[in-house]
Amino acid sequence: MSRHLYRPGHQRQPVERLRGRKGQEQRLRRLKAHGVTCSRCGRIGTWESKQATDALPLLVIDHIVPLALGGTDEDSNTRVLCEPCHRDATAEQFGHRKRIGCDEDGWPVGDHPWSR
């Protein structure tokens, strides 16, 4: 069974994706081909969600040009990102605001007016 993704605001062109066992095999093959390093920040991560921690983030397959924006589901359009980089890259690609975390006292961290 395939899932169709559509490019918002454009003529609807379905993008076929592998699901089930073949989709899992494709994901594992891509992860092995790219290695255990995030291609954006260079952090070492893990493929296993049970082993993921703040120090060892989960690695995910990211489409360089998102399927929803007309990208293809080919190996040449993929890269491996850690979860924080994947969240940021997705926000940038779709025009969402970047998430800002909080420190242990509840104050925003990073580039936020309150933390200046």
pLDDT at 14: 62
pLDDT at 62: 92
Name the least confident of 23-32, 84-93, 102-111: 102-111
Q: Are 43 and 57 in contact (CB under 8 A)?
A: yes
Task: Encode pLDDT of 12-51 as tens digits.
Answer: 556 677 788 888 888 888 888 888 899 999 989 888 878 8
Higher pLDDT, 86 or 115: 86
Token pair 């397959």: residue: 61
DSSP of 33-92 = HH-SB-TTT--B-BS-GGG--SSSPBEEEEESS-GGGT---SGGGEEEEEHHHHHHHHHH
Q: How is the chain split into domains, by residue range?
A: 1-99
Tell me the torsion sign for CA atoms 19, 21, 24, 26: negative
Joined tokens for residue 97: 């605001």
Higher pLDDT, 54 or 89: 89
- Among residues of the chain, what percentage have pLDDT more than 70? 78
